[in-house]
């Protein structure tokens, strides 16, 4: 593996620290290994409460590894994770979910032999019920197609609808922080637009989002803050807008 590149900050670190609210999630020096492979190396991130933060990077950069470690599904070799002031570094996955950190995994991972309704009910499980009518109404307003397909088997949904279901299922858990792993993957551009519109709307309703994407342009467009991961190291950070105009991002990810 290549040596980690030094992180380049599009804005001087701490320049606006005085105005910046305390982070919803603060990651310091996170390192994650697969055996002897160092997949994520000492990365730092701060997610603003109520904001959209994007983590972008190429295939194999370490994005999913980062998310899995944040959810407690992969062990952290070193570093710390603070959520709303609490150190959650060593908590088990179910304890992390109980804090309100819910992940929409890569590849959706919906239960294809179950109905749309059953998938949604399972989403509410962590709250000890199968979802209130209000919860269902909220996700139907976001994704009307799920209402139309409610009693159909989830495996019969299109790829876009399955992604909608995966997001809706996570919302049924009433998260405080939603982690999304490549929600645009494999979807037609028009469906990607639909998903991103829904993400904006969810965020406008107050939910903090952490969006992992290979679709660098779309992700940085909706994110207030972005991070660029390269070979397991943080290469760049800045506002979404700054990164969209950064020469390295333009050249390496946007083909400009
Ligand atoms: N289970 C595993 N065992 C060993 N190495 C792994 C495993 N999963 C991922 N890796 C390696 O860790 C690195 C980071 O992978 P990761 O899946 O986090 O990348 P990613 O940024 O999510 O990529 P993509 O955009 O393709 O999903 C890659 O080099 C990958 O080959
Ligand atoms: Mg991935």
Whether residue 182 is contained in a domain is answered as no
Distance 146 CA to ligand 1 centre (A): 31
How far is Cα 72 from Cα 98, in angstroms, rounded to an integer?
A: 12
Contacts of 93 (CB under 8 A, 6+ apart): 71, 72, 73
Q: In what order do the strands lie in the sheet with 225-230?
A: 8-9, 233-239, 225-230, 52-56, 208-213, 177-181, 101-104
C-alpha 67/C-alpha 63 separation (Å) is 7
Q: Whose CA is nearest to atom 4 of ligand 1?
A: 34
Rounded to two decimals, the pTM is 0.90
pLDDT of 21 higher than 70: no
In this predicted model, what pLDDT tens digit does every residue of 155-208 receive, in sequence order?
999 999 999 999 999 999 999 999 999 999 999 999 999 999 999 999 999 999
- The radius of gyration of the chain from alpha carbons, rounded to an integer in Å, stands at 18
Tally of domains in the chain: 1
CATH code (residue 241): 3.40.50.300
Distance CA 222, CA 211 (A): 10
Among the atoms of ligand 1, which is closest to the Cα of residue 61? Answer: 21
Say if residue 3's pLDDT is above 80. Answer: no
Domain that holds residue 227: 1-8+21-94+209-256
Instruction: Please report whether residue 138 resides in a domain.
Output: no
Spell out which residues line ligand 1, taking CB within 6 angstroms: 34, 37, 39, 57, 59-65, 106, 214
If you average pLDDT over residues 133-154, what whole number do you get?
95
Residue 251 covered by a domain = yes
Helix axes 159-172 and 116-123, enclosed angle (nearest 10): 30
Which atom of ligand 1 lies at the shortest distance from residue 67's CA? 18
Residue 17: what pLDDT? 45
What whole-number distance in Å separates Cα of residue 221 and Cα of residue 218?
A: 5
Answer yes or no: is pLDDT of 139 > 90. Answer: yes
Instruction: Tell me what pLDDT residue 44 has.
Output: 98
> What is the per-residue pLDDT across 216-243, written as a single tens digit (0 to 9) for each?
999 999 999 999 999 999 999 999 999 9
Ligand 1 atom 7 nearest Cα: 34
Distance 210 CA to ligand 1 centre (A): 18
* Ligand 1, atom nearest to 63 Cα: 21
Render pLDDT for 33-91 as a digit per residue (tens, 0 to 9): 999 999 999 999 999 999 999 999 999 999 999 999 999 999 999 999 999 999 999 99
């Amino acid at each position: 593996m290549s040596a980690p590149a030094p992180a380049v900050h599009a804005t001087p670190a701490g320049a606006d620290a005085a105005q910046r609210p305390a982070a919803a999630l603060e990651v310091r020096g996170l390192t994650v290994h697969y055996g002897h492979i160092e997949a994520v190396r000492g990365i730092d991130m701060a997610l603003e409460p109520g904001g959209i933060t994007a983590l972008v990077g190429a295939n194999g950069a370490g994005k999913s590894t980062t998310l899995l470690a944040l959810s407690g599904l992969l062990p952290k070799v070193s570093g710390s994770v603070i959520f709303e002031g609490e150190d959650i570094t060593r908590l088990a996955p179910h304890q992390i979910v109980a804090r309100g950190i819910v992940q929409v995994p890569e590849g959706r991972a919906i239960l294809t032999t179950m109905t749309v309704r059953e998938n949604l009910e399972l989403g509410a499980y962590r709250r000890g019920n199968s979802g209130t009518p209000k919860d269902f109404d909220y996700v139907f307003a976001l994704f009307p197609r799920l209402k139309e397909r409610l009693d159909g088997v989830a495996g019969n949904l299109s790829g876009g609808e399955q992604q909608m279901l995966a997001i809706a299922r996570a919302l049924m858990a009433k998260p405080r922080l939603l982690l999304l792993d490549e929600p645009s993957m494999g979807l037609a551009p028009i469906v990607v637009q639909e998903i991103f519109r829904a993400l904006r709307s969810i965020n406008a309703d107050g939910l903090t989002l952490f969006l992992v994407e290979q679709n660098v342009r779309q992700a940085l467009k909706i994110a207030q803050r972005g991070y660029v991961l390269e070979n397991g190291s943080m290469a760049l950070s800045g506002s979404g807008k700054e990164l969209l105009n950064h020469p390295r991002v333009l050249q390496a990810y946007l083909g400009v």
